[in-house]
Chain A
Amino acid sequence: MARSEWTDRRVETIVGHLLRAGVTVAALVMLAGGVIFLVRHGTDVPNYRAFRGEPSDLRTVRGIVRGAAHLRGRATIQLGLLLLIATPIARVAFSIFGFAEEKDGMYVIFTGIVLAILLYSLVGTA
């Protein structure tokens, strides 16, 4: 029990660092993308009144990464958003290792189910 509690605390500390790093990096990438976008399109007039949906290169992981590699402003913002979405997913993935180290098979399975649902949402619903 003592060892398990010790592992719990250690896992929680690492999870805390992981979450903070993920949010910080995501915010910085988003900010960089925002600057590029506003420098290039700051004087354009936006229209969010009518829903059109985003073009495919701003909707898929592949399209976003490709656009961000070319330093396109909107794609770089989406990359930041993608990193933000990935942060809790990384946390869940990491928890699997934590539970496995504690030899808690039941919670390895529970966490695996949550991870599968998250991954399906991100890549399986395109």
Chain B
Amino acid sequence: MNNLEFSLLVGMCSLAAGFLGALTGLGGGVVLIPLLTVLFHVDIRYAIGASLVSVIGTSSGAAAAYVKEGFTNIRIGMFLEIATTLGALLGAFVALTVPTAAIAIIFGVVLLYSAYLSGRPQPVVAEGGSPDPLATRLRMNGTYPSLDGPRSYYVRRVPAGFSLMFGAGTLSGLLGIGSGAVKVLAMDQAMKIPFKVSTTTSNFMIGVTAAASAGVYLNRGYVDPGLAMPVTLGVLAGALVGSRVLARTRTGRLRLVFSAVIVLLALEMLYKGIAGRI
């Protein structure tokens, strides 16, 4: 396979990954890295470098549309980005030292967990209640638009959310994925932020988090232009189309199919990691 054929094939797979990632809200990175390593026999370090850059693209592109709607809470995002960027730096440095087999195994476990999260029904977050002193001092409480006008919400358990975000950042830096699932978990479950606010704010944070580890990957020679070009352009185009289609599609069954694909890829990654064939 020469460069032209490789670019076209990888570009088309990335387009599909970006499209499905946007439709299901799981992001393109989770399928892209196993796809590149299992199908195209790309070294996992190159795959992580390329995926990470594409994550920045999709997050920034989607965030551009989200900020206008008024759900994104910039203060929550910025404060938690201290945790995610520090975690991302740590993750990137750890990735430079641990064997690739270990990365593949961790990746497999995270994939299985993402599939589980996406297959589970959306938990209902109890809103209202009394304000939390720390969140109030950090000016995190806000409002979001609803049909009956702006609704206010209070943020809770800031330290727990901050710690979970550090973990999300570390995973993002180690595996080259957005780890949006862990970010939403931290904001939904720990900090009790309304779902629409947490998903858009999480998306806003993913690009900044990925940029923190992308610098390390670039400087250490993990980002190959011949691979990153078709991956990034493909994922970007796919995500763009996906977000357009999203508004008029019911994604229940699609999420299920996508979750099944993720489980298969996860098992393949685990097998390869344990057998030391990666």
Residues of A within 8 A of B (CB): 8-9, 11-13, 15-17, 19-20, 22-23, 26-27, 30-31, 33-34, 37-38, 41-46, 48-51, 53-55, 58-60, 73-75, 77-78, 80-82, 84-85, 87-89, 91-92, 95, 98, 104, 106-107, 110-111, 113-114, 117-118, 120-123, 125-126
A84 and B74 contact, CB distance less than 8 A: no
B61 and A107 contact, CB distance less than 8 A: no
Closest residue of A by beta carbon distance from B212: A121
Whether B214 sits at the interface, judged by CB under 8 Å, is: yes
Docked CA distance A7–B89 (Å): 32
Closest residue of B by beta carbon distance from A21: B64
Docked CA distance A9–B120 (Å): 34
Whether B233 sits at the interface, judged by CB under 8 Å, is: yes
Docked CA distance A12–B142 (Å): 15
Docked CA distance A98–B40 (Å): 45
In this complex, how many residues of chain B approach chain A with their Cβ under 8 Å: the count is: 63
B2 and A54 contact, CB distance less than 8 A: no
Query: Which 3 residue pairs of A and B lie closest in terms of their CB atoms, listed nearest first?
Result: A121-B215, A53-B221, A122-B215
Docked CA distance A113–B224 (Å): 29
Contact sample, A vs B, 19 pairs, CB 8 Å cutoff: A23-B60, A46-B6, A48-B41, A49-B43, A53-B221, A77-B228, A81-B53, A85-B53, A85-B218, A91-B60, A95-B74, A95-B78, A106-B138, A107-B79, A111-B78, A117-B85, A121-B212, A121-B215, A122-B219
A84 and B232 contact, CB distance less than 8 A: yes
Main secondary structure of the interface of A (DSSP, over half): helix
Q: A50-B43, A85-B215 are in contact. Are A107 and B78 (CB under 8 A)?
A: yes
A125 and B67 contact, CB distance less than 8 A: no
B208 and A113 contact, CB distance less than 8 A: no
Q: A45-B1, A88-B208, A114-B85 are in contact. Are A15 and B67 (CB under 8 A)?
A: yes
B190 to chain A, nearest CB (A): 19
Docked CA distance A126–B46 (Å): 17
Whether B161 sits at the interface, judged by CB under 8 Å, is: no
B233 and A30 contact, CB distance less than 8 A: yes
